[in-house]
Structure 1
């Protein structure tokens, strides 16, 4: 059994449960807002996460979505639908994965400066 804890703004930690734990484990170091119901963990009271939002990564607001490839190149699909530019080769192989992307907005789209895989494709 894996334990995932959320550190609150005040410094206390809360145990997390639910189907989204795999995704949340991949967001170590990010600022995340979670919504859910009260639950019990092996450490005591916790939160059964129903949904979450990635608020910031390294102090910047990321765009989050599923990586897609089309005739015009790569894009994010979902709430943050964006055209992506300068997609690194190692990210191109992740089509279908849920990712976060940080970078500057350009006339051609969001330039990928950094990214992370939240949920692998498949």
Structure 2
């Protein structure tokens, strides 16, 4: 059995690590909105998310809307961003009309509309038989 001082030292390390993780900004990487990628950042545990644009695909609706890497998306369709899953739901739910993004750019606030993305229907040959 380890001495009490070793256990106390280990406990202090665990508490220190927990405090560090609790104070670090909450971030998620590798997320996408059609035509752009972003990193989700939260400055406090209950604060809305901010989506920092990390890349924009050339020729995409995001590029045509003049959205650039470094822009910060702070709202979608007039609402603050609660979670990354809320972003996915908003993009899916607004597939027919697109979404309005509230963006901070160089200290200025602006709104940009991303039109719906068109998904190609899979080609089904005419002579395909259906089980029935």
TM norm structure 2:
0.26
Larger radius of gyration: 2
TM norm structure 1:
0.27
Q: Which has the higher contact order (CA 8 A, sep 6+)?
A: 1
